Amino acid sequence: MIDPRLNRPFADLWRELPPARDFFLLQGLPQPLPDQTPAAYFAGLGSEVLTEAAASASDLAQAFARFLAALATLETDAPSVASLTILGGRDKHGRAENLELTLVPGDVAALVGPTGSGKSRFLADIEWLAHGDTPTGRRVLLDGHPCDAAVRLSASGRLIAQLSQNMQFVMDLTVTDFLLAHAESRLVADGVGAAAEVIALANELSGEAFSPTTALPALSGGQSRALMIADVARLCASPIVLVDELENAGIDRRKAIELLTGSGKIVLMATHDPLLALLAGRRLVFAAGAVAAVMETSPAEKNCLTALAAADARLSALREALRHGRQLRFTHEGDDHA
Amino acid sequence: MQLLTVAGPPSSGKTSILLRLACVLARRGRSLGVVKFDCLASRDREIFTQAGIPCLTGLSGALCPDHFFVCNAADAFAWGQGRGVSVLAIESAGLCNRCAPHIEGVLALCVVDSLSGIDTPAKIGPMLRLADVVAVTKGDVVSQAEREVFAFRVRRANPRATVLFVNGLTGQGAEALAHVVGAAPDTTGLDGATLRFTMPAAVCSYCLGQRKIGLDHQMGNVRKMDFGQDAS
């Protein structure tokens, strides 16, 4: 059957489905004219072009029709999640894992335990929406239900956004161009506005402001991290964010976590930083490949947070002093800069 | 036996991904065999053998690696059957971006590395464009936004493909890949099977070993570039 779209001018197709243009670029075909129809375009291709494309005119027309059909069904966004439930499986020794954990948007959970205790496997189980079919035997439910294979495949790689201290920007673009590229990939209507908002948020998080025209590779560690956090909070569709440690590079980490939870994310933090861990409502303690305990952050622990934050601020102040070439002073009484 | 063609630029992580895939398959009582086509020396056979995966390497040497691959594909299949593996992966290293080893009716996997730049999906041609599954590797070291932009460009280049993030270091994503491989059709043989894309045309004097440069030495299928008026 002939796709009716092949008989409409390209100008119409471009308007409805702008990425349809990519087909010609990708195949190395000459760009069609706006008032041409695909049917006429393909029929008019010369033999040299067809040889180069290694296909007949009708093959190409069919390939274009398939490309259009597939583009129209492309989902750009991750599934929205009202609740995430993880049901225990078993540990490395085959013992049952006693776990029934439900997280909702805005929840923050810390993952703690030594290397090899099962944190990565736990995240992989969530990302693949495990259904008793991974080595742990865990089951992961979205909104209380198991997901079928099609949902699992399409969610693959989109469910969990990651913020890790190993990550770097590799693109050689200015901050604005980079954010516009990200907004474009999400089909965000007002890309310029979104980019400006992300930059403002990032500058709030990091001590040292950067400009929209700064090149990504020129950002400091703290600025990069702040930009990544603000970008994930505002421009990333994934409902779950994994924070894999957040170094203290002059970023207001409490504000960073609040920004993520305020954007409706479920936040998982793999961290052994007490200040960060205490921001979580509970801690999952990993051992032997399973969650050995779920600890609620107690009121007493929450109380420690004030003192810890003060100690952290003192250390940050010392860093600032170093940066500005001042003498360091650090006393038991806390009057470092008296 | 299920068959899988694997293509991707050099060092994109094809071998690591196959090692991860083999682990997941093994847990499900299934075995993987690998035939690896390469241009020059390859250490991969050693790596696969160490992991207990039957592997055979073919080096194209002075021949066009793509043509070398097609001429040996059916034999590779027979080798896999002889070894009794449940899944055979035929891997061709980078080759030239003009080519794709993918075969009609056989699951086609393309491996691309998210560090390779956002224009890569548009640049690597038929090996990605004609794949059924695209595995994006090394996603753990680039920012989340770049991961997303990269995946978006991959989907735009091949909207029909299933795009998966697979991490060769941690194995994250290998389960999803094993799921797709598990659903691949059973292949009974490659005799009479059709390539998804034609191989590059060749046969010029340089195919036959000519090394001299210049008009007098060019014969056969030769095409000249247009350098405009100034060139003489």
Instruction: Tell me if chain B has a CB within 8 Å of the CB of A27.
Output: yes
Q: How far apart are CA A283 and CA B114, in angstroms?
A: 32
Q: Which of A134, A169, A238 sits opposite B146 (nearest CB)?
A: A169
Within 8 A of B139 by CB-CB distance, chain A residues are: 157
Q: How far apart are CA A310 and CA B74, in angstroms?
A: 70
Burial (0-12, 13-18, 19+ Cβ within 10 Å), A38:
buried
Cβ separation B144–A163 shorter than 8 A: yes
Model ipTM? 0.82
Provide the whole-model pTM. Answer: 0.85
Q: In chain B, where are the structural domains located?
A: 2-182
Q: How confident is the model at residue A24 (pLDDT cuts 50, 70, 90)?
A: confident
Q: Which of B146, B156, B159 sits opposite A171 (nearest CB)?
A: B146
**Which residue intervals of chain B are DSSP H helices?**
14-27, 44-50, 65-83, 120-123, 126-129, 144-157, 174-182
**Which residue intervals of A85-148 are DSSP H helices?**
119-127
Q: Is the CB of residue A286 less than 8 Å from the CB of residue A313?
A: no
Q: Which of A22, A133, A162 sits opposite B157 (nearest CB)?
A: A22
Paired with A240 in beta bridges are A160, A266
At residue A76, the pLDDT reads 57
Cβ separation A26–B122 shorter than 8 A: yes
At residue A78, the pLDDT reads 66
Q: Is the pLDDT of residue A338 over 50?
A: no
Sign of the alpha-carbon torsion through B121, B127, B129, B134: negative
User: What chain B residue is nearest to A135 in terms of C-alpha separation?
Assistant: B27
Within 8 A of B131 by CB-CB distance, chain A residues are: none
Domain B2-182 has CATH 3.40.50.300: yes
Q: What is the mean pLDDT of residues A220-233?
A: 93
Instruction: Tell me if chain B has a CB within 8 Å of the CB of A286.
Output: no
Q: A39-48, B32-41, B58-67: lowest mean pLDDT where? A: B58-67
Q: Which amino acid is at B180?
A: V
A84-297 topology per CATH: Rossmann fold (3.40.50)
Within 8 A of B165 by CB-CB distance, chain A residues are: 156-157
User: What chain B residue is nearest to A166 in terms of C-alpha separation?
Assistant: B141
Interface of B with A in 105-144 (CB under 8 A): 115, 117-118, 122, 125, 129, 136, 139-144
Q: How far apart are CA A316 and CA A47, in angstroms?
A: 69
Q: A199-213, A268-282, B47-61, B94-108: lowest mean pLDDT where? A: B94-108
Q: Where are the beta strands (DSSP E) in A175-281?
A: 240-244, 266-270
Residues 6+ away with beta carbon under 8 Å from B215: none
Within 8 A of B172 by CB-CB distance, chain A residues are: 120, 123-124, 127
Size of interface A-B (CB pairs under 8 A): 119
At residue B65, the pLDDT reads 81
- The boundaries of every CATH 3.40.50.300 domain in chain A are 84-297
Both structure tokens of A5: 């779209």
Interface of B with A in 168-207 (CB under 8 A): 170-173, 175-176, 179-180, 197-198, 201
Q: How far apart are CA B7 and CA A311, in angstroms?
A: 53
Within 8 A of B110 by CB-CB distance, chain A residues are: none
